[in-house]
Structure 1
Amino acid sequence: MKQKKITAIDVARLAGVSQASVSRAFSKNSSISLKKKKLILEAAEQLGYQPNAIARGLITNQSGIIGIVMRNIQNPFYPEVLDKFYAKLAEKGYKVMFINSHNNEISDDEVSHLIEYSVEGAIITDTLLTSSTVQKFTRNGIKVVLFNRYDNDSISNAVVCDNVTAGKRIGDYLLEKGHKNPAFISGPMNTSTTVDRLKGFEEALAVHGINFFLTENGFYSYDGGFTAAKRLLERDHTIDAIFCANDVSAFGAMDYLKTQNIRIPEDISVVGFDNVAMSDWVSYHLTTWHQPVDKMVKDAIHLLLEQINGNENAPIIHKVEGHLAERGSVMDRR
């Protein structure tokens, strides 16, 4: 015989409170007294009651769900980011709806999925927003924050690493170490991360009189980095340093160099960007730019919740400083 499902009414009856009080007790923004909340939670525990978050969201118009849209989950940077978002949002009483986007631009189906479940906000990482997508989010009251990239024409807040400064610092670092012929492995050129990292690198090299250097697109992927390194060395075998726009493409580049018996860093130095956990593996020991992910995640959540709570200001691009993590992949040639 099927057991009767315990409802909020049963909890209210046992605790001697109203059903509305039970709903408030399980709300992330509870306005109920601690004494009453304790009484309700004890009654719920005794009965084995589990609230229905979707049903409660329909009643309160607060789903307690934040959507996170992420495309390149093969890049170890983004699973690390997702884990941090999940933990920090859980601390604040929110659930996460993860959308693994398969396109460069978030699709209509993915947007519809977020709308269908009445997410209160969305954090968009490595996929692009169209103006029509932004309009759909706005019409449905869904607040949006972009993470690790921005769009100058967007009305959405964004949190990014200060990529221009990072690119400059990496360029200065390689030249200070005595490198004369650096090259760059980029990501897709339609992303702010690539544009800004390249811009900073170009500016640093120009100050030192280097106005031309080779570049290849590594598409922020391992295979892309591997192929890009091959193309660079086919074009110029005197390259003495490669700045890769992210760590995973740096791993690909390093592995290509190893297949050619090119020593790192004795023959060619390699610098990455992100400082993912694999960067410290003994097989890579990669010097890389550390993105301050903890602060970036914290700031992105703060901006999103401020919007959700009605404290909206003009959209900002919030830039966070990082730092160079020096390991063993760069040679001092001075």
Structure 2
Amino acid sequence: MSFKAIPGQPAAKRMLQNSLRRGKVSHAYIFSGPVGTGRRQMALALAKALYCRHRTEDQDACGECLDCRKVAHGNHPDIHIVEPEGQTIKIDQIRALQKEFAYKATASATKIYILVQAERMTSQAANSLLKFLEEPASSVVAILITENGNGLLPTIQSRAQWISFTPMPRGDMVTVLQQEGHALPLILPAVHLAAGVDAARELVTAPWFAEMRNVVIQLAREACTRFPQAFMTIQQRLAKSELAEHLPTFYDLLVLWLKDMVQLTLMRQEHLVYKDQTDWMAQIARTKDVREWIRITGQALELQKRLRSNANPQLLLEKTIISIQGG
């Protein structure tokens, strides 16, 4: 992975490449931003550029030297990646890292460690890491990857350079995924649910995602035209299937459908998510006024919140269908 191969994030790339150009790479970084925005790929791109023997003029890795190949294949001896064991990153993991880094780098002058989901460190692990940041045993670069940099200890934040990762523009994600040959009907909802192209690609290529989209379309249509059948569909295709594991995404996709209905009621079709379903959706949209569709959307969002609170899933689904029907 090189900087130029990572879509988006121009500000993050510029900051890192300028640091490499000036020879002033920080001893610690916080890569903070939503899942799917390329934080891990950027960490590896920085590592590859640091170790590269033939760095390009724009401070990117050549991708061909021995060190570049080792980073790409995940076997560079001076890069250590720490991820949560279970729910947290534990103090024993940080201690093992400190012990490993007590030795000199084997292949280069610098060792790098990457903490994935750094906000999930226990308090003991975070305090141990803080001491390590203050007193590294050798030349070290730390990269803390997190969804919420503010969730880290303030003392850790103050000792690291903050690099913010922002959601990639949807239009850019659509372009990338279309160029890769993915189907537009799946791309459009995926880019609304993901912050970056990697996360969107993961959805688009997941078989369950395509099936869930089809279920949302079927249930929405049945709720409006063949109401009793919708309850059978809930039983057969949601409640008692593998899709039951992805009910939060069902609500995400349903809310996107309802927002399309609001737009169709207002005679707007420029930014629809379910573009391939416009004909029948436009007919149904006219059966209610815009205030009713907005009310139903609000109810769906409220039922989604209750799902997160461990309410009965099947009961919530049935209430959702009744709400769409107008009951």
TM-score w.r.t. structure 2 length?
0.28
Higher relative contact order (CA 8 A, sep 6+): 2
Query: Which structure carries more helix by proportion?
Result: 2
Calculate the TM-score normalised by the size of structure 1.
0.28
